[in-house]
Amino acid sequence: MATNILLETGTNELEIVEFYIEKAQGVKEYYGINVIKVQEIIRYPEVTKIPARPHPCFLGLIRLREEVIPLLDLGIYLYNTPLDSSGKVIVTEFNRMKVAFLVSGLTRIHRISWENVSPPVDIDYEGKTPCITGVVKFDSRIIFTLDVEKIVAEMVPIFLEEGIITHEQAQKKYKVLIADDSPTVRNMLIDHLKGFDIHTAKNGKEAWEYLVNLKQGEGDILTRCNLVITDIEMPQMDGFTLTKKIKEDPVLNKIPVILFSSVITDTIRHKGQSVGADDQISKPELVELAKRALQLIEKANN
């Protein structure tokens, strides 16, 4: 899917595909997904049913050229309302996997600033566990950005390797700042990075404000923060902008930064390098993340 997303690194912009779910006759709710994650948009294809479904919204498998891809009904997931085959199917790719989502219809693509994406303020959306990472307000309507990683994680359990941090390393209590707008990812990192002293931020702006406050302390900044792990897509300030601000700051630039995102591609990797990221790792490679985090921390402290 062709796009001019982020023509200049650090512009703090994104493009979202806007679509809608018709939850009742004539009642539409509008949602958005980052263009980076959208591979293509197709008509409703032939679906192969499977006997044991991990979730009611899992419709089955579709074949797209030589690939077999799971299809999820967002109407069922969000409202327990099945959508019909007149809708559109958004084929996505992130976390090194492809997943298709059935929606009622598409509207357009928006190019917006992350500053115009507001956090969801811990809303309990219609009684469901929050699966919304941001809110975009237009004159005529509100668009919710979906936490598609969380939705897919409910369909595909992730099995993680246990403790790779040694007792000696744990005693050092390395201080790590994690910036990610997904509560699911933040909790996953907290659970997996045992031995680290972790502080979390819900977006790049919150993380930057935390780091600026840390600068007021005395002594080496690495005594107060050893590493930053940041997502790329976040409301208010994205991970590229956060990384660039850290690396341009004469005090904070000693802190290693890892971009941890589901959208790491060759193009994105180049952009990460241009803003000074010390490493870039694709979700959900948590074991690799912990190993490389330790390497960067110990290198910076030597």
Question: DSSP readout, 172-212?
Answer: T--EEEEE-S-HHHHHHHHHHSTTSEEEEESSHHHHHHHHH
pLDDT, mean of residues 125-132: 61
Q: Same domain, yes or no, for 171 and 88?
A: no
If one counts the domains in the chain, the total is: 2
pLDDT band at 8 (very low <50, low <70, confident <90, very high): low
pLDDT tens for residues 261-290? Answer: 887 777 788 889 999 999 999 877 777 888
pLDDT for the residue 157 = 47
Q: Same domain, yes or no, for 43 and 174?
A: no
Q: Same domain, yes or no, for 96 and 178?
A: no
The span from the CA of 40 to the CA of 59, in Å, is 19
Please check whether residue 260 lies inside any domain of the structure: yes
Q: Same domain, yes or no, for 211 and 146?
A: no
Question: What mean pLDDT, rounded, does the chain reach?
Answer: 83
The domain boundary, picked from 103, 126, 155, lies at 155
Indicate the residue type of 284. Answer: P
- 178: β partners: 200, 229
Return the HEC string of 125-137.
HHHCCCCEEEEEE
Full residue range of the structural domain in which residue 76 is found: 13-155
pLDDT band at 158 (very low <50, low <70, confident <90, very high): very low
Q: Same domain, yes or no, for 172 and 150?
A: no
Among 6-10, 26-30, 179-183, 231-235, the range scoring the smallest mean pLDDT is 6-10
Q: Same domain, yes or no, for 95 and 203?
A: no
Among 28-32, 42-46, 99-103, 188-192, the range scoring the smallest mean pLDDT is 188-192
pLDDT for the residue 126 = 54
pLDDT tens for residues 21-38? Answer: 998 888 899 999 989 899
Q: Same domain, yes or no, for 187 and 143?
A: no
